[in-house]
Structure 1
């Protein structure tokens, strides 16, 4: 399949731009980026679900699951985080189950439920001011 030069250049630029942002971010900022990407994936999945784009929906749900499991859950420090980390882990696991169900049933209301659970946490995270070392 042929991909136009401008599309390849834009893709490369996005990748370099994202890598630059990630490499220059502190852990707090990286978590903000993960929440933002998760919410974007949920929005995309919902839109694709409503439009009947099965392949796109599956990719977006898979991306959301990866962000939840590998990014947000993977970053939890269970020793230092105590009850908050345990609660977040339980929430992320629940959201993962619900995302899988939304994907299987093609149910945008389940995606809305997950968004409703994640959005307040993302907003609260944005309000946290990390300690300067």
Structure 2
């Protein structure tokens, strides 16, 4: 369905296209968690093709984050290593059909999302106060 014919899709597309890089990163974390949870739910329902598709979508997000991280800064190097680890674990979860690995990665991404959200709030407070 095209975004123009679906107001919700149009809203989502506009939200992504107009988001600043920090907000976009948070959206990517949220999407990754959504697809990881979807993969886990599909495994529980014995929907192996659905679990595979959802896992691949989560992997795509992690690969995007890995490719776009700034490795010139120490925090970027650390994030790069973490994204690489999460990607390898998602591949392993997909091969083994292991919901425990999916849960581990979902927890890591949720932790990152929480930290990122706090950083965005602090940045917003500093911008408002400064």
- Is it true that 1:73 corresponds to 2:66 in the alignment? yes
- The match for 2:30 is 36
Q: Paired residues, what number?
A: 122
Q: Deviations over 1:89-132 (max 9, x none)?
A: 11111111111111111110010111122211110000013365
* 8 Å Cα contact 2:42-2:48 kept in structure 1: yes
- The match for 1:126 is 117
For structure 2, the residue ranges without an aligned partner over 5 or more in a row are none
Structure 1 pair 37–11 and aligned structure 2 pair: CA distance change class (3 A): farther
- Is it true that 1:109 corresponds to 2:103 in the alignment? no
SS at match of 1:77: coil
* 8 Å Cα contact 2:3-2:13 kept in structure 1: no
Give the TM-score of the pair, scaled to structure 1: 0.83
Structure 1 pair 54–11 and aligned structure 2 pair: CA distance change class (3 A): farther
Residues 33-72 of structure 1 mapped to structure 2, 5 A cutoff? 33-70=27-64, 72=65
Point out 4+ residue stretches in structure 1 off by more than 6 angstroms.
none
For structure 1, the residue ranges without an aligned partner over 5 or more in a row are 1-7
Structure 1 pair 47–117 and aligned structure 2 pair: CA distance change class (3 A): same
- CA distance in 1 between counterparts of 2:89 and 2:29 reads 17
Superposed CA RMSD in Å reads 1.9
- CA distance in 1 between counterparts of 2:50 and 2:37 reads 12
Give the TM-score of the pair, scaled to structure 2: 0.85
- Is it true that 1:100 corresponds to 2:91 in the alignment? yes
The answer to which of 38-47 and 13-22 deviates more is 13-22
Structure 1 pair 96–12 and aligned structure 2 pair: CA distance change class (3 A): farther
